[in-house]
Amino acid sequence: MPLLEGRQLSKRFGGVWALQQVDFFLEAGEIVGLIGPNGAGKTTLFNSVAGAFKPTTGRIFFRGVDITAKTPYDICRLGIARTFQIVRPFPEMTCQENLQVAFVNNHHKAAGKDWASSTHGILEFVGLTDQMLTLAKNLTLMEKKKLELARALATNPTILMLDEVLGGLNTQEINQALNLIKGLRDEKGLTIFWIEHVMGAIMQAADRVIVLDQGTKLMEGQPGDVVIDQRVIKAYLGE
């Protein structure tokens, strides 16, 4: 049984279908990339999984349980967390205080017993220990993205959904973020669902890639197979 599964998901806004009959699944411990041109439906799919949108048709299952009608906070407490493409920390709070807010949704039964229940442990893992008492408004873009990630980790997720975490970063920062993502799976055992436009990073880290185009699933497969598929080249990558 997949850890997370979407069956025949469709979402309509007015007369426009943002998703049309999309099937997907995530196995435990996978890093699954989600790619496609702007407007392909990637963030709509994320919003549907996270409970921000309710699919017009279709169902979503987490560990075999139907979560389609659940609220975002209930889904978060079950163990599905996400980051956002545009980071919005509480600017007048320190990094430590931002995490303390996120701990409200930490679903771990034994708070304080592991790294994901510790402000210091999470900030150390993402590389923000020295900024623990720094106001979020004074962080660099890279540091704000780390804080966005840290807040998601503070809910102690099983599945972490990342929305373009590499956007706006330079090459050195991308490599640093990529190591963090790999560490979340390899060291912390998280399952990663990841929207990204930096194809070099997807090629290095993803086990599988799902391609959306105009709200439909164009294909899925291993990264090396996806980037040479003529349908993907035509719809997204270009010649």
- Domain positions in the chain are 1-79+159-239, 89-157
pLDDT of residue 114 exceeding 70, the answer is no
* pLDDT at residue 65, rounded to an integer: 97
- DSSP letter, residue 135: B
With a cut of 60, say whether residue 60 has pLDDT above it: yes
Half-sphere exposure of 96 (CA within 13 A, CB side): 8
Q: Looking at domain 1-79+159-239, what is its CATH homologous superfamily? A: P-loop containing nucleotide triphosphate hydrolases (3.40.50.300)
CA distance 135 to 154: 18
At 108 the pLDDT is 55
- The amino acid that residue 30 corresponds to is E
